[in-house]
Structure 1
Amino acid sequence: MPEGLRADLQQQIASGDCLLVVGAGVAIFGTGNAPCASWNGLLRHGVQHCAKHLPGLPPGWAEPSRLP
């Protein structure tokens, strides 16, 4: 990052005039592509967790064909 841009960003943050918007892309990059960092990975993990911890789910409920 160029020094002038860095200084401007630091000044904007210090004065409270900065809004940071973070999406899944930042999480994926920041975690080295961790499986749960993407929306699909998070949903897959949630489905697997439910299948493991919630007895009585219908057969095939957590089949991969149901996931994006």
Structure 2
Amino acid sequence: EGLRADLQQQIASGDCLLVVGAGVAIFGTGNAPCASWNGLLRHGVQHCAKHLPGLPPGWAEPSRLP
């Protein structure tokens, strides 16, 4: 009860910060591809490969995630 009361007091006074991870984003978006870290990085590499002319052939290959 003491820990809960302390947390409630911190929230009420505005001294609490909630940090959530990718799991919340994945669940909240219905498993959207960019909601996970791997998906976000994969999307970024694909975007760069598509929109940045002059990248060497195969530039994105070493960056691929499993």
Q: Taking structure 1 as the reference length, what is the TM-score of the superposition?
A: 0.71
Partners of 2:47 and 2:22 lie apart in 1 by: 21
Deviations 1:18-53 (A, max 9, x none): 220111111111111110010100000000100111
Gaps of 5+ in 2: none
Q: Which runs of 4+ in 1 moved over 2 A?
A: 3-14, 63-68
Per the TM alignment, residue 67 of structure 1 is displaced from its structure 2 partner at its CA by: 2.6
* Overall identity of the aligned pairs, in %: 100
- Give the TM-score, by structure 2 length: 0.72
d(CA) in 1 for partners of 2:34, 2:54: 25
Gaps of 5+ in 1: none
| Equivalent of residue 5 in structure 2, options 4, 7, 12 | 7
Mean Cα displacement is larger for which, 44-53 or 19-28? 19-28
| Count of aligned pairs between the two proteins | 66
Higher RCO (Cα < 8 Å, 6 or more apart):
2
Aligned-CA RMSD value: 3.3
